Amino acid sequence: MQKKIIALAVAGLASTAAFAQSNVTIYGSVDAGYSYRWDAENRTTGQHSRSSIDTGNSAGNRLGFKGVEDLGNGLKAVFLLEQGFNFDTGTMGQGGRTFGRQAYVGLTGGFGTAVAGRLYTPHFSFVSGIDPFAAGTVGQYRNVWGNTGSAGGANNLLDPTRVDNAVAYISPNFGCFDVTVAYSNAAAADDNSGVVNTTNTSENAGENAKNNTVYALLAKYSAGPVLVGLNIHHIAVGTNLGLATGQTSVKSITNYTVGGTFDAQVVKLHAVAGYNVLSASGLQADGTYSNYLLGVTAPIGKAVLKASVNYSDFNGEKNAAIGSATHGGTATQYAIGADYNLSKRTNLYAAYALIDANSSRANTVYGTGDATASGTAAANNPFQHA
C-alpha cells in the first residue's frame, strides 16, 4: 500500500534586515506563509488535511547578534548569538532556548577559524546549501531524509542539524579546497524535535562516558561553476541519549554524504547522496539508510524557479522481537517552487510537494505528526525551516 502526502505553501513573505553599530551587527529575519497539507490516508486520527498560517517556512525566523574585534596581526575575535522565534505566537523556537539557533565564540585569522558553542553541523550546512529549497518550505529535503517516526530524537541522528557543547575548526582555502572538523562530547540528540534534552547537556561534562560523542569532517572543493564535497558525521551514543524505550540500544550511527552543484548560469544542477549506518544491540538490530537528492534551479529575472526529487530507502530500525523493520521502506518526494525577489531583502515564495511513501514509512515523513490523538491540529509547523 502506498501513502501520498501533498503539501502546498503559497503567499509566503520573507524579509531580512541588518545594521551595524561599532563592531557588532544586529540582524534578523521574519517569515510568514500560508500552508495547506492533505494526507491521503491518516490511520492515526482520520484527519486528512491541515490549513494554517505558519511561521518560518522558507527561512527560519531569527534575531541575531554577531561581532568582530580586530586583535592585531591579522587575528580577530568573533562571536554570534542567534535566537529563533515563532512570529504567530511570540514564543521562542528550538525548544525555548534563548539562543537556540546558534551561539558561539572564537578566533579567526590566517590559520583559519576556530569556534566553540552550539553549532550547525557540517552535514546540515553542506546538504542544506545544496538543496534547491535550502531546507525550507514544503519542498525541503528533510521531509523524507529524517525519521520523525522515531520518538525522542532519532531524527537528529539520521539528519543531524545542530550539536551542543561543540568545537569546530574551518581551514583557510588551499587551492580551492577547505576542510571543516568538529567535535562534541555532550551533544543533544533531539534538536529537530524542538525538545531540549535536559539529560544531555554540558552539566554532564564530568560523566563523559554517558554522553553522546560527535566527530564530524567536511572536505569541499569549489572552483568556478563546480562545488563538490564529502561529509562524515559519526555519533557514538552514550546512556544520556534521551531516546524512547526500544531505541536505547542504539550504539552508534555514521552518516556519509557526498554531493555538489554545477552552475551553468542559465540553470544550476544539484545532487546529494547520503548513507547512514546504525549499530545497535538488544531488541533493535543494525540498520542502513540511503537518501538521494536531484534538483535544479533556474533564475529568470527577479524570479528563481526550482525543483527537486528526493528518494529515501530505510532498511533499519528493526525490532528483533517481531522480526521486522519498524520504520523500513521507501519514500519519494517530488517538489517544485518559485521565489520572486521584491528587493535584496524581501521575497515572495511558493512551493508544492508530493510525498509517495510505503505504508511502513508512512509515519516517518515530516507532516504526519501534525494531528494529535484527539484529531486536533498540532501547534507546530511540520515544514518549518531549521
| pLDDT tens over the chain, length 386 residues | 555 555 565 555 665 566 544 589 999 999 988 888 887 665 555 556 778 888 888 888 999 999 999 999 999 999 999 999 988 788 888 888 899 999 999 999 999 999 999 999 999 999 999 999 999 998 999 888 876 544 334 556 788 888 899 999 999 999 999 999 999 987 765 554 333 343 333 334 444 555 678 999 999 999 999 999 999 999 887 654 444 434 456 778 899 999 999 999 999 999 999 999 888 765 556 778 899 999 999 999 999 999 999 999 987 555 544 445 555 788 899 999 999 999 999 999 999 999 988 876 766 675 544 433 333 333 345 556 66
- What total of structural domains would you count in the chain? 1
Is 164 part of a structural domain of the chain? Answer: yes
List the one residue out of 153, 122, 330, 182 whose CA is nearest residue 250: 153
CATH assignment of the domain containing 7 = 2.40.160.10
Is 216 part of a structural domain of the chain? Answer: yes
Is 212 part of a structural domain of the chain? Answer: yes
What does the alpha-carbon distance between residue 11 and residue 339 come to, in Å, rounded to a whole number? 11
Is 50 part of a structural domain of the chain? Answer: yes
Is 149 part of a structural domain of the chain? Answer: yes
- Position 50 scores a pLDDT of 77
Dump strand ranges (E) for the chain: 2-21, 24-39, 49-55, 62-72, 75-84, 102-109, 112-120, 162-170, 177-184, 213-223, 226-236, 250-263, 268-280, 287-300, 303-314, 318-319, 324-325, 329-341, 346-358
Q: What domain range includes position 71?
A: 2-361
- Position 87 scores a pLDDT of 81
Is 162 part of a structural domain of the chain? Answer: yes
Cell numbers linked to 54? 505558519
Is 146 part of a structural domain of the chain? Answer: yes
Residue with cell 494554517: 52
Cell numbers linked to 96? 525555548
Is 380 part of a structural domain of the chain? Answer: no
